[in-house]
Amino acid sequence: MDQVNVLVLAPVRDSDLKAIAAVDPRVVVVDGRGKFEPEYRETWSAEIARRYLGAADTQSGKEERDALLRQADVVCIGFPFPTKLVSRAPRLKWIHQTPAGASNLRYSDVWGSSVLVTTSRGYGNSTAHAEWVLATMLMFIKELPRALMDKQMGTFEGRPYRPRLLAGKTVGVVGLGGIGREVARLSKAVGMRVVATRRSATVRTKGAEGVDELFPPSELHQLLAASDFVVVCTQSTPETEKLIGRSELTAMKSTSYLINLARGEIIDEAALVEALRQGTIAGAALDVHESEFQGPPNPELIGLPNVIFTPHVSGGSDVPTHRGIELFCQNLGRFLSGQELLNVVDWQRGY
């Protein structure tokens, strides 16, 4: 293979560009960071622009951006990214996405194309995500939301508090992928029992994959009924849209809590509001919401006292642990030597 032009659009560090260039002498890194921001503002929603783009636009024009894509053999994207990408890149052979989820690709001509696509699934900030889950579980079981409300109201009375022990409780992980496994690890470290579902599981097994019991997806209701905390970590696909609906919420204990850090569309939010108001479940912690890239959360949901809401920050950390570029460099070496790539998106499966 001759020279390979790698166009980097993801907002990575300068050191990451050097690491990519160091993979092989044939690699030519083209720095496209920031050059597509004007296009993103035109093609993505105002909410995405507000949350993900810088305050200042670059002055790059469409001709320059088209020229960069025409010469690209490989493109490394983040989010957002060009919605018209494959059609403008005739030499393109492979796209790597630094985010872990593939559902964002549905909004572009990348989805279902013949171009090879890989994601950073399993290489993200899994520990940060899992710590956020553990923090929300502790907040609920130690009644810290009550403490915050009491402080705002200026009250100081201990008798209404009913703190409980987290150790010995059961956490159900829906989707035992990279984040789910880390949630399981931290939960077991504080003495919790862990049960989980995994798409590939066909029968229920004990002691498999680092959890006490692994359920097939067909036994989701049994997992929900056994759990004091239900943590949604599964990929967003047509198969998982509204996976947690009215019947699933009814299957949960009235004392249990639902935690979602995957995608808002996996939960039927209307059913969730109803369950929270009626006491079908005790509470919910949400880092995501339906249509979050189009606007703010449902005010009915965010206004409930038994809901903890954060703006998609569960992966945040003061220590950079995202290894998406590490995977990209590994795959780049495999690409140049004609080997099979890791984390290739299966369009039928959806991730």
Positions marked catalytic: 263, 292, 312
Please tell me the distance from the alpha carbon of residue 116 to that of residue 123, in angstroms, as a whole number: 19
Spatial CB neighbours of 55, under 8 Å, sequence gap ≥ 6: none
Please tell me the distance from the alpha carbon of residue 341 to that of residue 335, in angstroms, as a whole number: 7
Answer positive or negative: Cα dihedral of 140, 143, 144, 148. Answer: positive
Residue 6: enclosing H or E segment and its boundaries?
strand 4-8
- Can you give the C-alpha Rg of the chain in angstroms? 22
For the chain, helix, strand, coil in percent to 5 are: 35, 15, 50
Yes or no: say if 121 and 100 are a contact pair by the CB < 8 Å rule: yes
Q: Residue 328 burial (CB < 10 Å; 0-12/13-18/19+)?
A: buried
Answer positive or negative: Cα dihedral of 39, 41, 47, 52. Answer: positive
Nearest to 54 by CA among 34, 82, 81, 39: 34
Spatial CB neighbours of 243, under 8 Å, sequence gap ≥ 6: 174, 220, 232, 234, 266, 267
Q: Residue 204 burial (CB < 10 Å; 0-12/13-18/19+)?
A: middle
Please tell me the distance from the alpha carbon of residue 74 to that of residue 106, in angstroms, as a whole number: 19
Six-digit token pair at 284?
């919910």
Residues constituting the chain: 351
Question: In which residue are the tokens 């279902």 written?
Answer: 112
